[in-house]
Structure 1
Amino acid sequence: MANRRIRDRVHEIVFEADTPTGKWFDIGLLVLIVLSVVVVMIESSDDWYSHYGRIFIVLEWMFTIIFTFEYILRLWVTIRPWKYALSFYGIIDLIAILPSYLSFFLVGTQYFVIIRIFRLLRVFRIFKLGKFLTEGDQLRSALIASRNKIMVFLFTVTLLVVIIGSVMYLVEGGTNAGFSSIPRSVYWAIVTLTTVGYGDITPQTSVGQFLSAAVMIMGYAIIAVPTGIVTNEMIAGASGRSRFTNTQVCRYCAREGHADDAIYCKYCGGRLNEHK
């Protein structure tokens, strides 16, 4: 019973940001995340590493040990640990500490700890920026709802750039060294259609330049298509979106987004707080 109370208390501190201790725990965690990312960025500079390399190594392992302990702590206080381990934050937390251990076997992998910056997403829930979370959830739902349309659009664009690249190869291939193959020409079509225009390959013939101009103009129209698809889905789902009201995390499935007066988790049915 005492062990259960300890786990409940630790869970409240580690996962919740509604209590003073939980909020300070998360703020301290965010500070450590920022510091660890800054250390990795500075460490990549040869000048800094040559003078302070040993200090960087010590700091990096200090951060890794702290984050490893925190990850184990989150698994311990969650009643179904695998639920947290497979959640978005659980995967990010694991990936954030793995590169340091992999550096024993693969040189250079320690720089992948820069992915820890994704953990700063917790700032939205810590400081109760619920509006941003709601808008983010709306965008995610719109992308999921429009995925079939986007897939059809991408497939169409892929066919289009292959055709345009092949035609440009026939037009420019004999006189322009830049269009040396169809894949190279397809690369030019992608760069031109997306209006990036690196300028490393340019058509020299009049027909090629005319086709290039047509592809550039077509690019502006194509860019507007996915924007319209996603926007339409966002408008359609705006009326039925749910509000994120607190930072309470279910001890069973490690998911959040519950109403303030909720007693049971709306995802798995587990009791949110034994004292309610």
Structure 2
Amino acid sequence: MKQYLKNIVEINDNKKSRYFAFFIQGLILISVITFSVETIPNLKPRTKTILQIIEWFSVIIFSVEYLLRIYVADSKPKFIFSFFGIIDFLAILPFYLSFGVDLRSLRALRFLRLFRIFKLVRYNRAMNHFTTAIKSAKEEIFLFLFITLILIYFSAVGIYYFENKAQPEHFSSIFDSLWWAIITLTTVGYGDVYPITVGGKVFTFIILMIGLGIVAIPTGIIYSALTKSVDKNQHTTEEN
């Protein structure tokens, strides 16, 4: 029975597995649509009831699916704490947390239902390539993020010393300067906070040049890893 369920629940090349995958994908899309419809103001009571029924049905199916995936998993702890295991859990968590919760905080819990859309990643080959690429390049990505955090802090400290006296209302501390550092290094530049001193402007130019590299580097890392993942998959397919 366990092997029979495993062949259905997990992605396999058989009709029952494909039907199950299509059913779950369809239910995810319906759930996401109802999530959006619920935000429409002045909904009729009948519409609210229908949406609630759809939510109950979706949660029951997703809960059964989650439990089945745990049951058929070769390593249950490994699945529970895996990316897909966490996504499956977060997809149903808001519904169960809503019981006995103050209605004022219910809105925040409902937002977590948006995690259901990430369940679609499991059924998308292109996204699977992307996930594989992220895993293979995780050390480079973590290193890049670490360097980026250092640069953000360095930028905040630098602009603080250049602009603190000239604009104490915007750069009153290094913590306030962090906002400028983030939007400058990411090249967003909202224009709400900007330097007015000569030193601050020169420093900003340098940070902007670094920021252009920060935007480009992760793209190169992920593209390289993604290319390797696709090539490896094609090579494996040709051998089979």
TM-score bin, normalised by smaller chain: 0.7 to 0.9
Query: Which residue of 2 is the match for residue 85 of structure 1?
Result: 80
Task: Summarize deviations over 1:121-162 as a string: whole Å, max 9, x none.
Answer: 2322xxxx4xx3673355124322424xx42x4444433333
Query: Which residue of 1 is the match for residue 117 of structure 2?
Result: 117
What is the CA–CA distance in structure 2 between the aligned matches of 1:182 and 1:80, rounded to whole Å? 47
Secondary structure of 2:93's aligned partner: helix
- Structure 2 contact 121–128 (Cα < 8 Å) conserved: no
- Structure 2 contact 134–225 (Cα < 8 Å) conserved: no
What is the CA–CA distance in structure 2 between the aligned matches of 1:21 and 1:233, rounded to whole Å? 33
Query: Which residue of 2 is the match for residue 216 of structure 1?
Result: 208
Query: Which residue of 2 is the match for residue 161 of structure 1?
Result: 152
Normalised by the size of structure 2, how large is the TM-score? 0.78
What is the CA–CA distance in structure 1 between the aligned matches of 2:8 and 2:129, rounded to whole Å? 27
Point out the more displaced range, 138-147 or 74-83. 74-83
Query: Which residue of 1 is the match for residue 33 of structure 2?
Result: 38
Q: Which has the higher contact order (CA 8 A, sep 6+)?
A: 1
- Structure 2 contact 130–226 (Cα < 8 Å) conserved: no
Secondary structure of 1:67's aligned partner: helix
Query: Which residue of 2 is the match for residue 56 of structure 1?
Result: 51
What is the CA–CA distance in structure 1 between the aligned matches of 2:161 and 2:127, rounded to whole Å? 51
1:49 and 1:123, CA in 2 relative to 1: closer, same or farther beyond 3 A?
farther
Query: Which residue of 1 is the match for residue 187 of structure 2?
Result: 195
Matched ranges for 1:127-276 at <5 A: 129=125, 132=126, 135-136=129-130, 138-147=132-141, 150-151=142-143, 153-176=144-167, 177-230=169-222, 241-242=232-233
Q: CA RMSD in A?
A: 3.3
Aligned-partner residue type, residue 32 of structure 1: L
What is the CA–CA distance in structure 1 between the aligned matches of 2:162 and 2:76, rounded to whole Å? 61
Question: Which has the greater radius of gyration?
Answer: 1
- 1:20 corresponds, among 3, 15, 20, to 15
1:196 and 1:101, CA in 2 relative to 1: closer, same or farther beyond 3 A?
same
- Structure 1 contact 192–216 (Cα < 8 Å) conserved: yes
What is the CA–CA distance in structure 2 between the aligned matches of 1:43 and 1:244, rounded to whole Å? 46
Structure 2 unpaired stretches of 5+: none
Normalised by the size of structure 1, how large is the TM-score? 0.69
> In the comparison of the two structures, how many residue pairs are matched?
233
